[in-house]
C-alpha cells in the first residue's frame, strides 16, 4: 500500500540524514556508535523524534508545522497496519493532533486524492529539509 511505503521512505530518509549529520558532528565516533545514537533519537513516533532531532542536529525545520501532515500520515499508516478496518481510534487522534482528518470512530479514507496530496506534501517537506541540511534557504516553507 502506498501509504505504508510513503511513511517508510520519509522515515528512512530522516534516519539517513540523522546518521550523516551525527557522523559529521562527531567524526571520532565509529559507525556502530553513530547507528546506536541515531536509533535512540528516532525512538517513538514523529511527535517524539522530530523535536529531538531538531534540537540534537540543529535542524529547526523539523519543528515546523509542515511536519504535522507527516504526523497525520504516520497515524493513518498505523491505523491501516494495526487495525482490521480503517476507523480512526484514540491513538490516531492523539498521534495526528491538530492535523487529524476525522474524530475517533470516523472512517479514514485513503483514496487516490489523499495519497496524491500526501505524496506531494512529503516531497515538499523533504526538499525543504534537504535545503536546510545543505545550508540553503528553504524553498516552500519559511
Percent of the chain at pLDDT > 90 equals: 82
Cell of 19: 546518521
pTM equals: 0.91
What does the pLDDT read at residue 142? 66
> Given the C-alpha cell 506534501, which residue does it identify?
121
Q: What is the pLDDT of residue 1?
A: 77
- Take residue 85 and report the three cell numbers written for it: 478496518
Query: Can you say how many angstroms the Cα of residue 103 is from the centroid of all Cα atoms in its chain?
Result: 21
Locate the domains of the chain by residue range.
2-133
> Mean pLDDT over all residues of the chain?
93
Amino acid at each position: 500500500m502506498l501509504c505504508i511505503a510513503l511513511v517508510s521512505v520519509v522515515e528512512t530518509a530522516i534516519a539517513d540524514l540523522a546518521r550523516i549529520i551525527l557522523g559529521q558532528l562527531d567524526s571520532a565516533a565509529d559507525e556502530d556508535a553513530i547507528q546506536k545514537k541515531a536509533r535512540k533519537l528516532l525512538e517513538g513516533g514523529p511527535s517524539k523524534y522530530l523535536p529531538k532531532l531538531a534540537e540534537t542536529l540543529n535542524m529547526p525545520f523539523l519543528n515546523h508545522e509542515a511536519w504535522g501532515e507527516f504526523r497525520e500520515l504516520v497515524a493513518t499508516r498505523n491505523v491501516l497496519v494495526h487495525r482490521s478496518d480503517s476507523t480512526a481510534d484514540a491513538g490516531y487522534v492523539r498521534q495526528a493532533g491538530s492535523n487529524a482528518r476525522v474524530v475517533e470512530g470516523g472512517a479514514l479514507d485513503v483514496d487516490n486524492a489523499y495519497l496524491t496530496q500526501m505524496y506531494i506534501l512529503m516531497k515538499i517537506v523533504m526538499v525543504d529539509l534537504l535545503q536546510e541540511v545543505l545550508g540553503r534557504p528553504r524553498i516552500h516553507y519559511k
